[in-house]
Chain A
Amino acid sequence: MPACLTPLTTAARLRPSEPLRLPIGLPEFDRLTGGLPRGSLTEIFGPPSSGRTTLLLAALLAAAASQQTCALVDATDAFDPASAAQAGFPLDRLLWIRCGGEAERALRAADRVVNAGGFGLVVLDLADLAPRILGRIPPLCWFRLRRAVEGTPAILVVATPQPLTGACASLLVEMKGGRAHWAGAPNARLLVGSAFQAFPRKPVRAEAASFQAPARWAR
């Protein structure tokens, strides 16, 4: 090979040491994690009312704002289109796949969507499935999904009640429910929002990202 081409070859082999990331518009979360990594699997886990869906909605909003097409594989049909629309999400941009409570269907659907290519953000929502159903998912599924998304600009986010994906997740976030905020007199209360905390577990961060999620009628 001519010596003059050596620098070009070296440059061609260069790969970004860190994957590109999508900031989701929550300043503390973005500062701690840098955003959701592209070409990787991100897992968000936590108990009910811990802010998993709010975080997913923030990610969907961020992806839509950068004109990307999104897909939501919804294992338990839990997505509320009204919440998303009122938050400003363009529903036309979302491919919603309702799996009727079947984990296997959800995994197969996610596999199909990721392999179709062209989606900027693919969300696999398993957050309401029972632990005994989730326990039956073979770890190979996660390797397969991670392999499918690697090298693409897509972001795969899995929402679960407990950590599931093991070594396959590049970013693992634990959500913890904070305090609900109420307004008004004791006999005329109004839910005005809730505070959540996100703890990055992989890579581990000492601090948590806190954020407030106001109720849509209190915005």
Chain B
Amino acid sequence: MFACLHVPGLPASQQALLPECAAAFSPKVEPTAPDAVTLALEGLERLFGSLEKLAWAMAQRAADLGWEARVAVASNPDAALAAARGLPGVTVIPAGREAEVLAPLPVAVLEPAPEIAETLARWGIRTLGELAALPERGLAERLGSEGVRLQKRARGAAVRALAPVAAPAVLEERLELEHPAALLEPLLFLLARLLEQLCRRLQARGLAALELRLHLDLEDGGEHLRVYRLPVPMRAPGAFLKLLRLDLEAHPPRAAVRALRLSAGPAAPRSVQHGLFVPRAPEPEKLELTLARLAALVGEDRVGAPELLDTHRPDAFRLKRFRAGEPGRFAGGRRAGGVSLALRRFRPPLPARVEAPEGRPRVVLAQGVHGRVVEAAGPWRVSGEWWRTEGYWREEFDVALAGGGLYRIYRDGLRGGWFVEGSYD
């Protein structure tokens, strides 16, 4: 059995979506016409149930994409195509009743050559039933083999093999501009359109995007490429647009844009089973947008999850990309039950004047930190990376000042000078 999915008046910009929509149901899809595709249905009943259910599922998928589609199921591709062109809604033609169902349809649904259509019109043949009833020999003598082939299609008895075409694996949308876009707003307007189409294509294939690549051809002949990797597969054009806006605001192209190319790295959509007793974590889509906004606010290198570096250098860390925790991912966190004295760092350390007779600090003077030292512990010597120019060698002290306050200060043995590193708070 074969099904034909026909969308009357399908805009040219959406014609590429039609085979992708059909590919969600069958691996054998033939793009029969710009506004129609034909699918082989063999073996699909196990997946979708009856042919009626399958046909309705196809109509529903098309409706999700905003199309008012016609779906017809028949024993051969041409009968399915003729029925889809001629009958609204969903039609399932039982095997052997093709001629009966197609009979009232106009000849135009077969799209005959203009001269044949004119001849048939002169003969007064208006419907497929009338065409099917003509004597075959006489039709062959007058219209040739094309006439006979047309009559077989009118009877729903034409036999031909489907010519399926594999859907392209690349999900890409492109747009060339008549006038270069120099401002962000018009560019975003166009990007919104491309994203909408790209997400429709992803939806038609049952996929989501794990990566977005925006390629801009610039007026000065150069190119501007932005790659946005997403933490989880997403298919939200609104969120994508906001991410691209923030990214383009942070990294604007150096010249006006002549053409846009937007492609998606496809992935299976995310499916998460939340637990009843697992605490809520930020939604990945919302979190990604929040991280992008925070990066725009404070800088990309100032947002993330801290990670200690494998070195003895004091205050050695880096910020890595923050990811919302999967349930149970942090199960190793220590149970609260005790605290330890926390250090607040001054970044950069505060330069200080320290009176230190015999190497022991007696008075500390720095911006916002000053007083006589009433208790001091140290020196604790720290050194390393002497083979590098940024090596370190210092003597650290923990000091309590007379006016209150507990600080860590140090003397830089390589560059000289005293510094207040932080306060115990």
Contact = CB atoms under 8 A, between A and B. Distances in A.
Contact of B333 (A51, A77, A79, A90): A90
B263 to A, nearest CB: 28
B278 interface: yes
Interface in A78-117: 78-100, 102, 105, 108-109, 112-113, 115-117
A215 B278 CA distance: 33
A98 B342 contact: no
Contacts of A83: 340, 342-343
A80 B347 CA distance: 10
A106 B354 CA distance: 33
A156 to B, nearest CB: 15
Contacts of A99: 298, 302
A56 to B, nearest CB: 7
A50 B344 CA distance: 12
Given A61-B336, A81-B308, A93-B330, A116 B302 contact: no
B334 A194 contact: no
Contacts of B417: none
A146 interface: no
Given A67-B325, A82-B315, A91-B308, A194 B424 contact: yes
Interface string A55-69: 111100110111111
Which secondary structure dominates chain A's binding surface?
Answer: mixed
Interface in A23-53: 23-26, 47-53
Contacts, number: 226
A47 B404 contact: yes
B377 A128 contact: no
B276 interface: no
Interface of A: 23-26, 47-58, 61-62, 64-69, 76-100, 102, 105, 108-109, 112-113, 115-120, 127-128, 153, 177, 180, 182, 184, 189-191, 193-194, 211, 213-216, 219
A112 B294 contact: yes
A214 B340 contact: yes
Contact of A88 (B298, B323, B334): B334
Nearest to A193: B341
A67 B278 contact: yes
Contact of A69 (B281, B308, B344): B281
B286 interface: yes
A127 B298 contact: no
B297 A81 contact: no
B296 to A, nearest CB: 10
B406 A49 contact: yes
Contacts of B293: 112
13 contacts: A49-B406, A58-B336, A61-B334, A61-B339, A64-B334, A69-B281, A69-B324, A81-B306, A85-B308, A90-B333, A95-B291, A191-B377, A191-B406
B189 to A, nearest CB: 25
Interface string B238-259: 0000000000000000000000
A68 B345 contact: no
Contacts of A105: 297-298
A54 B339 contact: yes
Interface string B178-206: 00000000000000000000000000000
Nearest to B324: A69
A87 B302 contact: no
Contacts of A80: 315, 342-345, 422
B305 A213 contact: no
Contacts of A184: 377
B343 to A, nearest CB: 5
Contact of B340 (A47, A98, A127, A216): A216
